[in-house]
Amino acid sequence: MLKKVLVALFACVFSFHAFSKAESFTKSSFMETNVKYDTATFGGGCFWCIEAIFEQLKGVKEAVSGYAGGTTKEPTYDQVCGGNTGHAEVVRVVFDPEIISYKELLLIFFSSHDPTTLNRQGADAGTQYRSVIFYHNLQQKSTAEIMIKLLTEKKVYENSIVTQLLPETVFYPAEKYHQEYYENNATQSYCRVVINPKLDKLRKNFEKYLK
C-alpha cells in the first residue's frame, strides 16, 4: 500500500506541469522580492513526528512545533490536549524555496501521515491531531488544492482526504521541551515506536531530500 501511495504522490507532483498556468509561485518571484526564505505550516498528528521529519530535509532552516487554529490565547500543552481550545498541533517550517519547493514539502507531508483519518493519527486521537494545512499566501492555497485534487482523482487513498486547508492564523510556539523533541529524546518509547518507523520510510523513499 505504501509503495502505491508513493508512486501516486510522485505522479501528482509531475502532474503539476499541467497546472502551470494556474500557479504563479516561482523561484524568480522570490528573487524579485529579495525573499530567501518562505514559511509553511502543517499539522498531521503529534507535532513531535512532523517536526522530526521536516528537520531532516535540505533547505529547511527550522521546524518549530506549536499550536494554531484555535481561539484560546497563549494556550498551554495541557489546554490543547484537553481538546477545548480548537488548536491543532502543527509545525511551522521555514525553508529555502531555491532548495526545496512547497510542492515537495506537500509531497513529504502527505506521505508522512494518513490524511484520511478524521482527528486521529494512530493512537493519537482528538481534534488537536487533525490533518491540516495552514496556507500563508494564495499560491500555497492553490498548490495545496491542486495536490489534494490530484490525489483524489488518482484514488491514492481508499478513503476520502479530510485534510483541512485554512488560511494561516496566530501561531503559538509550543513549550521549550517540545522543541527538537526527537533529537533530545530518541530513546524514549514514543520516539522508538512511532517516530523511528516514519523516519525509516523517509530515508528509504526520499533520500535525495535529506541533509
Q: What CA–CA distance (Å, rounded) separates 97 from 173? A: 23
Closest listed residue to residue 72, CA positions, set 170, 6, 148:
170
Q: What CA–CA distance (Å, rounded) separates 144 from 49? A: 21
Q: What CA–CA distance (Å, rounded) separates 121 from 123? A: 6
The single residue listed with the C-alpha cell 482528538 is 126
Each residue's pLDDT tens digit, 67-84: 999 999 999 999 999 999
Q: Which three cell numbers stand for residue 58?
A: 535540505
- Name the residues annotated as catalytic: 46
* Three-state DSSP class for residue 197: helix
Which residue(s) pair with 121 in the sheet?
124
Pairing label, strands 164-167, 131-135 = parallel
pLDDT greater than 50 at residue 170? yes
The domain spans of the chain are 2-209
User: Structure pTM?
Assistant: 0.86
Each residue's pLDDT tens digit, 85-110: 999 999 999 999 999 999 999 999 99
Q: What CA–CA distance (Å, rounded) separates 4 from 151? A: 12
Each residue's pLDDT tens digit, 178-194: 999 999 999 999 999 99
Using pLDDT thresholds of 50, 70 and 90, give the confidence band for residue 1: low
DSSP percent split of the chain into helix, strand, coil, nearest 5: 45, 20, 35
Domain 2-209, CATH: 3.30.1060.10
pLDDT for res 18: 45
